[in-house]
């Protein structure tokens, strides 16, 4: 069985992608944002088309016009909400919009899942999603309450159930995906991520304590830092915290906060990606994730510094670097790539997808 | 011309190696699959880097070919142009142009652009908005940092008279006298036109007629007139949006870095703008700038050694550089 495993390959390059990325941004600026829908399609097409499995690549088939319509709807509702809440001070109307949006959320998330799958194809056979809307309502109601009452201690359990809801209803042609994972493993992942973060933070604290040990006397106390933070928030006009505070905050941000946050992001992404891949099959064909969590954490942290030092210009390169590493440490063992039958391409609403996109919600597909 | 491709029939995931023949009669022929259609019925996906190009046929079949350059040549011979986006992406000049447009736009929005946007936004926003936002802020400040003023009637009367003259004929400006041991010697303006002056600052005045305080009030009015709070909000918003769009998922950067960048580097610019405004107003009222220069000197001496004394103070937050004092002095006639 093992010799059937074939890794995904990624052929995209930073230089080539840089051009696509910068032209996308420039055209988006020049068209006052309208081109952003085409930009999204071009970016996704580039990423999908450069992903190869067993010598064939993936395709992204979304229609930019539909994406634009979805985008306009989402942005309009959001603007409406902001105008009512912050400018007209009509909180009843704003709350009404928020409640409607909240009620529609499970439905929209299902739409987003379905959008991502049906617009992806491999060998001209599209993926599909057959999950029911009512299952999404049931899921969010049940697990929402569960997590409120358990103060999110049940989150790993909900995570596994959500992955089941997504993957078990995903199809490639007639092929069915299956996912079965242990909740215990997810708890272990959380413990190791928190554990590593704690150790790193402890190391930082020790280093800082040693360095500043001599200079402690007479320097700024914690209360003053806190007070300035509070004051800054309430500060109405151009008054803001002293330059010293700003400098301290910047140093803290750059050397402690950012590595910690982005290291944690890479670490969790690797653990969870491996977990999902190692418990997912397409019919009887298994996936395998061999992403090294520390390597991905390093990529994530160094990427942030590369982005900052290049003032954002090397962002395309970092994006490709991250994606390439993840994909090329994922593999799939299928005996017959020819066996899948197409159910045809479907169109559908793009509002869910654009909502998820706009608010940057990670539904993990 | 012959082009190697992979054909998918759209019914299954099977791959077929095929050769596509583009004939001079503008027909597309794939012998092995009995395809013989006019070129106009084939949809060519626009080229994207060097990814395999997709050709879609009306019967649902798709071909993919990695021979991008040969395909471009075919299209050129048949008078069909390359896709516009690819044309831009593949031209060095236009790519560099895109870099310039992007950098120029970001730079513009963070500098002069924010002034225009703030002005445009302020004219669109209902006036009640600024007032209500300011009222909320004022209430919060009253609760935590401000106490009733203990100034004498005479002091209040003189300063109020200055203020009335300063804002003569203009609606919306209001002066609040407050005491604030926490904030110390300070004055600040809310976007609505409410200006707060602390007793602690008045106590430092070196002029019996409080002409130095008038200078401070003019400076604060400058913040309101130049819409500095709105501009800061807009700059933060814009740079957040730019960071967010460019870096996609790096949302933490999007929300925090711009705030720090802006708070540290733009405050000086705004302070200077308010100083310029103050000088202009003082000249109009025929009052020498020597009074405010003297007050600033006193403040500098007082705060010189203890930078972190009262953090929010307008004076402590942007240490009184001698440049600012010199600026005021340069206008003394």
DSSP secondary structure letters along B239-269: HHHHHHHHHTT-HHHHHHHHHHHHHHHTHHH
pLDDT in tens, B76-110: 888 777 677 888 888 889 999 999 998 898 888 77
Residues 95-134 of A with CB under 8 A from B: 122-125
Residue A108's contacts (CB-CB under 8 Å, 6 or more residues apart) are A351, A352, A355, A356
Which residue from B minimizes the CA distance to A11?
Answer: B51
ipTM exceeding the 0.85 mark: no
Report, as an integer, the average pLDDT of A25-42.
91
Choose among B101, B78, B97: nearest CA to B88. B97
Q: Is residue B48 within 8 Å of residue A46, measured between CB atoms?
A: yes
At A91, the pLDDT band (50, 70, 90 cuts) reads: confident
Q: Which of A23, A38, A239 sits opposite B95 (nearest CB)?
A: A23
At B330, the pLDDT band (50, 70, 90 cuts) reads: confident
Which DSSP category does A255 fall into? I
pLDDT in tens, A165-200: 999 999 999 999 999 999 999 999 999 999 998 998
> Rounded to an integer, what distance in angstroms lies between the CA atom of residue B246 and that of residue B249?
9
- B229–A22: do the CB atoms touch at under 8 Å? no
The answer to whether the pTM exceeds 0.90 is no
Report, as an integer, the average pLDDT of B49-74.
90
Torsion angle defined by CA atoms of residues A224, A230, A236 and A241, in that order, rounded to the nearest 10 degrees: 40
* The domain defined by B2-82 carries CATH number 2.30.30: no
pLDDT at B316: 38
- Based on its alpha-carbon atoms, the radius of gyration of chain A, rounded to whole angstroms, reads 23
- B188–A239: do the CB atoms touch at under 8 Å? yes
Q: Which of B12, B101, B319 sits opposite A30 (nearest CB)?
A: B101
Q: Is B257 on the interface with A (CB under 8 A)?
A: yes
More confident residue, A83 or A112: A112
Q: Is residue B253 within 8 Å of residue B243, measured between CB atoms?
A: yes
Give chain B's mean pLDDT: 80
Q: Using CB atoms within 10 Å of the CB of residue A219, give its burial: 0 to 12 exposed, 13 to 18 middle, 19+ buried.
A: exposed
- B13–A26: do the CB atoms touch at under 8 Å? no
pLDDT at B85: 82
- Across B156-165, B224-233, B268-277, the highest mean pLDDT is recorded for B156-165
- H/E stretch holding B120: helix B112-124
pLDDT at A249: 61
Choose among A237, A244, A234: nearest CA to B187. A237
At A147, the pLDDT band (50, 70, 90 cuts) reads: very high
> Rounded to an integer, what distance in angstroms lies between the CA atom of residue B211 and that of residue B292?
7
Residue A97's contacts (CB-CB under 8 Å, 6 or more residues apart) are A77, A80, A81, A84
pLDDT at A232: 34
pLDDT in tens, B296-307: 888 777 765 444
Choose among A40, A63, A319, A46: nearest CA to B48. A46
CA-based nearest distance A284→chain B, Å: 17
Which residue from A minimizes the CA distance to B263?
Answer: A240
- B188–A235: do the CB atoms touch at under 8 Å? yes
- β-pair partners for B198: B178
> Rounded to an integer, what distance in angstroms lies between the CA atom of residue B93 and that of residue B123?
40
pLDDT at A158: 93
Residue A213's contacts (CB-CB under 8 Å, 6 or more residues apart) are none
Residues 216-235 of B with CB under 8 A from A: 223-224, 228-229, 232
Using the predicted structure, report yes or no on whether residue A222 has a pLDDT greater than 80. Answer: no
pLDDT at A237: 33
Residues 262-301 of A with CB under 8 A from B: 262
pLDDT at B312: 36
Q: Where in B11-158 does DSSP place strands (E)? A: 16-22, 27-30, 35-38, 43-44, 53-56, 62-65, 147-148
pLDDT in tens, B270-281: 888 888 999 999
Q: Is residue A78 within 8 Å of residue A359, measured between CB atoms?
A: no
What are the extents of the domains in chain B?
A: 2-82, 112-329
Using the predicted structure, report yes or no on whether residue B116 has a pLDDT greater than 50. Answer: yes
- Across A288-292, B36-40, B44-48, B70-74, the highest mean pLDDT is recorded for A288-292
Residues 262-281 of B with CB under 8 A from A: 263-264, 267, 270-271, 274
pLDDT at A245: 56
Using the predicted structure, report yes or no on whether residue B170 has a pLDDT greater than 80. Answer: yes
């Amino acid at each position: 069985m093992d010799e059937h495993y074939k890794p995904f390959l990624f052929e995209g390059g930073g230089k080539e992608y840089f051009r696509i990325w910068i032209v996308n941004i420039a055209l988006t600026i020049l068209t006052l944002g309208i081109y952003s829908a085409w930009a999204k399609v071009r970016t996704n097409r580039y990423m999908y088309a450069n992903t190869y499995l067993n010598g064939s690549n993936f395709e992204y088939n979304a229609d930019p016009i539909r994406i634009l319509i979805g985008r306009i709807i989402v942005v309009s509702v959001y603007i409406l909400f902001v105008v009512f809440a912050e400018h007209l001070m009509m909180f009843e109307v704003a709350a009404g919009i928020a409640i409607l949006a909240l009620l529609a959320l499970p439905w929209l998330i299902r739409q987003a899942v379905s959008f991502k799958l049906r617009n992806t194809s491999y060998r001209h056979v599209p993926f599909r999603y057959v999950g029911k809307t009512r299952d999404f309502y049931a899921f969010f109601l049940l697990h929402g309450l569960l997590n409120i009452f358990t103060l999110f201690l049940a989150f790993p359990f909900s995570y596994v159930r959500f992955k089941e809801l997504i993957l078990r209803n995903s199809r490639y042609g007639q092929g069915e995906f299956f996912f079965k994972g242990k909740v215990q493993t997810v708890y272990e992942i959380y413990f190791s991520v928190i554990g590593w973060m704690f150790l790193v933070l402890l190391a930082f604290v020790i280093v800082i304590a040693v360095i500043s040990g001599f200079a402690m006397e007479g320097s700024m106390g914690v209360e003053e830092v806190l007070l300035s933070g509070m004051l800054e928030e309430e500060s109405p006009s151009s008054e803001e915290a002293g330059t010293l505070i700003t400098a301290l905050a910047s140093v803290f941000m750059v050397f402690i906060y950012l590595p910690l946050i982005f290291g944690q992001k890479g670490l969790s992404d690797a653990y969870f990606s491996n977990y999902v891949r190692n418990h997912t099959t397409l019919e009887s064909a298994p996936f395998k994730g061999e992403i090294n969590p520390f390597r991905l954490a390093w990529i994530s942290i160094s990427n942030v510094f590369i982005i900052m030092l290049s003032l954002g210009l090397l962002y395309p390169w970092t994006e490709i670097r991250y994606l390439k590493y993840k994909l090329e440490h994922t593999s799939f063992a299928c005996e017959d790539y020819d066996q899948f039958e197409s159910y045809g391409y479907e169109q559908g609403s793009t509002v869910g997808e654009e909502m998820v996109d706009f608010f940057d919600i990670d539904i993990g597909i | 011309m012959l082009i190697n491709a992979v054909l998918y029939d759209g019914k299954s995931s099977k791959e077929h190696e095929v050769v596509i023949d583009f004939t001079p009669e503008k027909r597309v022929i794939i012998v092995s699959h009995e395809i013989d259609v006019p070129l106009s019925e084939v949809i060519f996906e626009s080229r994207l880097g060097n990814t395999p190009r997709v050709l879609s046929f009306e019967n649902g079949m798709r071909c993919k070919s990695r021979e991008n350059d040969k395909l471009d040549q075919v299209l050129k011979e048949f008078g069909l142009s390359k896709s516009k986006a690819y044309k831009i992406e593949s031209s060095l000049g236009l790519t560099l142009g895109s870099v310039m447009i992007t950098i120029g736009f970001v730079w513009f929005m963070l500098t002069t652009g924010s002034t225009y946007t703030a002005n445009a936004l302020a004219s669109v926003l209902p006036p009640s908005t600024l007032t209500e936002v300011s009222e909320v802020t004022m209430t919060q400040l009253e609760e935590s940092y401000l106490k009733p003023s203990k100034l004498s009637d005479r002091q209040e009367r003189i300063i109020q008279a200055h203020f009335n003259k300063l804002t003569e004929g203009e609606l919306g400006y209001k002066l609040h006298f407050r005491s604030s041991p926490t904030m110390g010697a300070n004055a600040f303006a809310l976007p609505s036109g409410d200006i707060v002056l602390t007793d602690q600052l008045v106590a430092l005045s070196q002029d019996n007629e409080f002409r130095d305080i008038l200078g401070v009030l003019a400076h604060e009015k400058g913040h309101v007139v130049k819409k500095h709070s709105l501009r800061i909000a807009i700059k933060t918003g814009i740079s957040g949006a730019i960071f967010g769009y460019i870096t996609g998922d790096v949302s933490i950067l999007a929300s925090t870095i711009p705030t720090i960048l802006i708070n540290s580097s733009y405050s000086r610019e705004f302070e200077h703008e308010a100083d310029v405004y103050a000088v202009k107003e003082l000249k109009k009222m025929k009052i020498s700038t020597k009074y405010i220069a003297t007050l600033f000197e006193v403040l500098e001496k007082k705060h010189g050694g203890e930078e972190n004394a009262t953090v929010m103070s307008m004076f402590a937050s942007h240490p009184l550089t001698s440049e600012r004092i010199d600026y005021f002095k340069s206008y003394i006639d």
